[in-house]
Amino acid sequence: MAYNILVVEDHLFQHQYLLELFDSLGGVSIQSAYNGHEALELLKDQHFDLVLSDLMMPGMDGVQLLQKLGELKQKPALAFMSTASGRMMGSASLAAKSLGFKVLGQIAKPVSLSALRKLLDKLMSFGSELVAAAKVAQSHSFTDLSHAISSGQIQPWFQPKKSLSTGRIVAAEALARWDHPRLGLLLPRDFLPSIICHGLEEALLMQFVTQTIAAQSIWRKQGYDIPVTINLPTHLLDSDDLPDRLHERVVSGGGIPSQIGFELMESSVTENLGRYFSGVCRLRFKGFGLAQDDFGKGYSSYFNLVSTPFTELKIDRSLVYGCVENENLEAALSSIVALGKKLGLNVVAEGVETPDELALLSRLHCDQAQGFLISKAIDPQSFSSMLAEDGPANP
């Protein structure tokens, strides 16, 4: 399969140089534009799999082009190249992601052949993911999803949270997995968009609460009290009685509200702030924990953090990845952990993958960590086994 790529570069020499590099790699169809206006004209008549654009161009710069591309119904993947700082390209990438684009790369000039080869590898991988996702999505009807939720095919798997002071598993996050009878085990990216499209988020939330209580009951019989956090799409708080119905579900199922927390997802918002603040207050009145999810990513703000009665602060993995080598990231982590402590919150770092990252977070006095270094999400029975391997609850 030949991918269609549009190169946007205003400098004559760089322009020709890039076309020659792509030509040497082969396997792609290349068109080019010298400025943003030419690029938009080409995009009117055809679709490109990837747009590789310079950021700093006269007339229409790369960010202005990005804003125009945001109006396209069928969005290409993007990559940026520039002599600007990595922080500048990072900001442009965040802007692109907020507009719904997949950003495949940030390339420093002068562009090298190896950098383009890596970019093409990412494009091919992304293309394969799109094809697979399209095949999976075709089978996700409202009826299929409703049955999968009610029958327990979609169930919570649990990713452990480890205490950095004791090294023991002290909590978990519930993450969705679908044991599909025909397609096998599916990850959230394979079905959550369809859940949202069909308006089944609350049905999944309620079922997750029931299933989590059942798992906690088993762990409690082993001697372990393990609090679990569950993702809660924020727009569900538009329903004024949601806290009451969640509390009734927990109590009637033999659960303990204080052992259940909800991670508020910033991917959705309530219709008005009044309902948001009313909802979060009433969840806390009912005894539930509240976590600010993915802090440091997207639009999560300090104002929201200090205005909402959270009990837990979860630091996004984007601030953890590379923190050992990046002094700026380490400084950001240090300030966030300190702020969380001053607010009386349990501070959890997500996406921990290396012993060095874990050691740094421990030095910064972060409370808990989760990530592949500790464990991926596992089914309730495997979680029970991991608890047993962790040792007695009260050694």
**pLDDT top residue among 265 and 41:** 41
**How, if at all, do strands 169-180 and 154-163 pair?**
antiparallel
Q: Which whole number is the average pLDDT over 288-301?
A: 74
pLDDT at 311: 95
Q: What is the DSSP letter of 101?
A: P
> CB–CB of 77/102 below 8 Å?
yes
Domain over 3-136 is classified CATH 3.30.70.100: no
- Output the DSSP codes for 234-257: GGGGGSTTHHHHHHHHHHHTT--G
The model's pLDDT over 86-145, given as tens digits with 9 standing for 90+, comes to 778 888 888 888 787 888 988 888 888 998 999 988 888 887 766 666 555 556 889 999
Q: Which two tokens stand for residue 44?
A: 């009117």
Domain over 139-390 is classified CATH 3.20.20.450: yes
Q: Which whole number is the average pLDDT over 338-348?
A: 95
Whole-number average pLDDT of the chain: 89
The pLDDT confidence band at residue 70, using thresholds 50, 70 and 90, is: confident
Q: Which of 271, 261, 270, 319 is nearest to 292 (CA)?
A: 261
The model's pLDDT over 141-199, given as tens digits with 9 standing for 90+, comes to 899 999 999 999 999 999 999 999 999 999 999 999 999 998 899 999 889 888 987 88
Q: Which of 136, 61, 83, 75 is nearest to 104 (CA)?
A: 75
For the chain, give every domain's residue range: 3-136, 139-390
Range with the lowest mean pLDDT among 50-59, 94-103, 280-289?
94-103
**How, if at all, do strands 169-180 and 184-186 pair?**
antiparallel
For residue 234, give every residue at least 6 positions away whose Cβ sits within 8 Å of its Cβ, in sequence order, or none. Answer: 264, 265, 266, 268, 269, 270, 276
pTM for the full predicted model = 0.69
